[in-house]
Amino acid sequence: MPYPIPQTILSMNMFPAGSRVFFYDSTGQLVRGVVESTTRMADGTQMVIIRRDNGGIMTLP
């Protein structure tokens, strides 16, 4: 039986707006950007909206 996740953990935001982030895209290129905002889906997945330094906005889980 899975244990319930305390609501305090669900409300924590590991990526506050304005945070500098980086990740590798599917071609292995480093992508840098700034967190614009975050949202949480009904299943608890946190979605992060990132403004890339080279232009454009993307959303990552």
Query: Which 3 state secondary structure label does DSSP give 9?
Result: helix
Q: Which CATH number does the domain 7-60 belong to among 2.40.160, 1.10.10, 1.10.287, 2.30.30?
A: 2.30.30
Q: For residue 14, what pLDDT is reported?
A: 80
Query: Domain locations in the chain?
Result: 7-60
Q: Is the pTM of this model over 0.85?
A: no
Average pLDDT of the chain, as a whole number? 85
Can you tell me the distance from the alpha carbon of 4 to that of 34, in angstroms, rounded to the nearest whole number?
Answer: 32
Can you tell me the distance from the alpha carbon of 3 to that of 40, in angstroms, rounded to the nearest whole number?
Answer: 20
Q: How many percent of the chain have pLDDT more than 70?
A: 80
Give the residue among 31, 28, 37 at the shortest CA–CA distance from 59: 37
Residue 4 DSSP label:
P
Tens of pLDDT, residues 29-58: 999 999 999 988 888 888 999 999 999 999
Q: Which two tokens stand for residue 36?
A: 């614009």
Is 8 a residue whose pLDDT tops 90?
A: no
